[in-house]
Amino acid sequence: MEYITNFKALNSKLTPLETMITHYGFTDGTGDWYLVLDTDKCNGCGECVEVCPQNILEVGQDEIDIFREKPVASIKQEARKKIRYHCAPCKPGYGIELPPCVTACKLGAISHSEGWKQINRCEKH
Amino acid sequence: MEQKKENSVEFWRWPESNWVNPDLPWKKGKWITAGVDVGSVSTQAVVMVDGELFAYGNIRTGSDSPNSARKGLDDILEKADLKLENIDYCVGTGYGRVNVPMAQQTVTEISCHARGANFMYGSQVRTVLDMGGQDCKAIRIDERGKVLNFIMNDKCAAGTGRGMEVFADLMHVPIWEIGPRSFQITREPPHVSTTCVVFAKSEVLGLLERDVPENEIIAAYCSAMAHRTRDLLNRLGIEKKFVITGGIAKNEGVVKRLEKELGIKSEEKVWANSKYRKKKYPFDTQIAGAIGAALFAYELLKMDKIKSVRKG
């Protein structure tokens, strides 16, 4: 997943987003701490919910796109502001191993920001 | 105590507003919907007749969210000669959306701001930056106002409306003068190292002690705020057309500096709807969330009606 950082090259290069992405987490002085969900890929199977040792994921009605009928994974409301600490135990050595949620998602819908160093299933394969 | 309170000037106090569309007879409308956006700092209520803007109000949120929601809506209902019973469907949104007593449904503020910005600025809008009272949201949307990607920073009040209010109070400058005064400088000052609202006071005092001119401190704070917001947009990516909503959008000092940092202009604050533009309807950047909520109410109502007709 690439983010546009060069704003001068922006107007020419950027293509419209094709999938719906949600960022849960926050930016603070130490970096970006986000769990990124591609909700177009997500089919609401709930595999990630089962494997998350911190129990911060849930599957339910899409609260951003209220007209979506398919259930979707999201982060529990109370965990959103503490995501850095919730996700840290799954990242020994800052992301040498894939965390369980990323491995469990067969559709490659889950990734993390660079705070813990970005791990993206799509890039690995 | 009472006396003292009256004498002290509240520099942070931004003006409240409300407006009723004089050209729209609501009685002829089929469906009347309302959207109430209860934020941490301000509360907006919007009434729409068949998806057309009919009335809006913008007030400060008190300590009691349900009361603010009620007051916000009641104010405009009274002005527009409407009654609560006339409203067919109401959607609540914002930080205090669970505390809107008259709402039949709640929708997250992210969806509502996206939808509202689409209505206000037009379907070509792709990136929305909402600088709210206590959070900052960057949203990428498609031509229908559907959210494609979002980031919300609600963990830190730096770079938000509340931060600006505290700063205005510290500097003893009325909040609407911050923007113009930040340009009355001879040179662009260096960045303030911290934008933390709590530490702002010591930072400002330090600068004042070093005889830095007041306007330069204001400029420094504005550019620090712009810088912080840029980081958020940096992560999301930005695409034309780019718009800013929320209270800070009214502060030229922040907006101009942010545009400079991004190298991209934000859209002019005018209605995309040519009819609205021609008739010079007032444009308030703070009502985007409430407009979105009212539009969702209209859509949900239509869906409900269709369903009930099918069932019947």
Share of chain A above pLDDT 70, in %: 73
Strands (E), chain A: 21-28, 31-38, 57-60, 72-75, 110-112
CA gap B30, B37 in Å, rounded? 23
In CATH, what number does A20-115 get? 3.30.70.20
Greater pLDDT, B299 or B311: B299
pLDDT digits over A38-51, tens only?
Answer: 888 899 899 999 99
- What are the structure tokens assigned to B189, written together? 């000052």
Q: How far is A35 from chain B (nearest CA, A)?
A: 11
pLDDT tens digits for range B248-276 = 999 999 999 999 988 888 988 889 988 88
Of residues A81 and B118, more confidence is placed in B118
> What is the band of B8 on the pLDDT scale with cuts at 50, 70, 90?
low
Residue A2 has pLDDT above 60, yes or no: no
The whole-angstrom separation of Cα B137 and Cα B229 is 9
- Domain ranges, ordered by start, for chain A: 20-115
In this prediction, residue A6 carries a pLDDT of 40
Complex prediction ipTM? 0.70
Q: Which residue has the higher pLDDT, B301 or A114?
A: B301
Q: Look at B296 and A66 and tell me if their CB atoms are within 8 Å.
A: yes
pLDDT of amino acid A18: 58
**CA separation for the pair B305, B269 (Å, rounded):** 35
- Residue A52 confidence (pLDDT): 92
> From CA B108, how far away is CA B97, in angstroms rounded?
8
Mean pLDDT score across all residues of chain B: 86
Chain A nearest CA to B150, separation (Å) = 6
- pLDDT higher than 50, residue A3: no
Q: Assess A47–B contact: CB distance below 8 Å, yes or no.
A: no
Is residue A91 scored above 80 in pLDDT?
A: no
Q: What per-residue confidence (pLDDT) applies to A72?
A: 92
CA separation (Å) from B109 to A39, A51, B174, B307? 18, 30, 28, 26
- Name the band, by pLDDT with cuts 50, 70 and 90, for residue A9: very low
Answer whether B147 touches A (CB < 8 Å): yes
**C-alpha to C-alpha distances, B82 to B27, B42, B67, B90, B291, nearest whole angstrom:** 9, 23, 19, 14, 18
Pick the more confident residue, B34 or B153: B34
pLDDT in tens, B208-260: 888 888 899 899 888 888 888 887 888 788 888 899 999 999 999 999 999 99
Task: Output the CA–CA distances (angstroms, integers) from residue B226 to B55, B56, B71, in the order listed.
Answer: 32, 29, 33
DSSP notation for B121-132:
H-TT--EEEEE-
Distance from CA of B108 to the nearest CA of A (A): 6
Domains of chain B: 2-122+270-311 (3.30.420.40), 126-266 (3.30.420.40)
**What are the residues facing A28 on neighbouring strands?**
A31
Residue B42 CA to residue B21 CA, distance in Å, equals 22
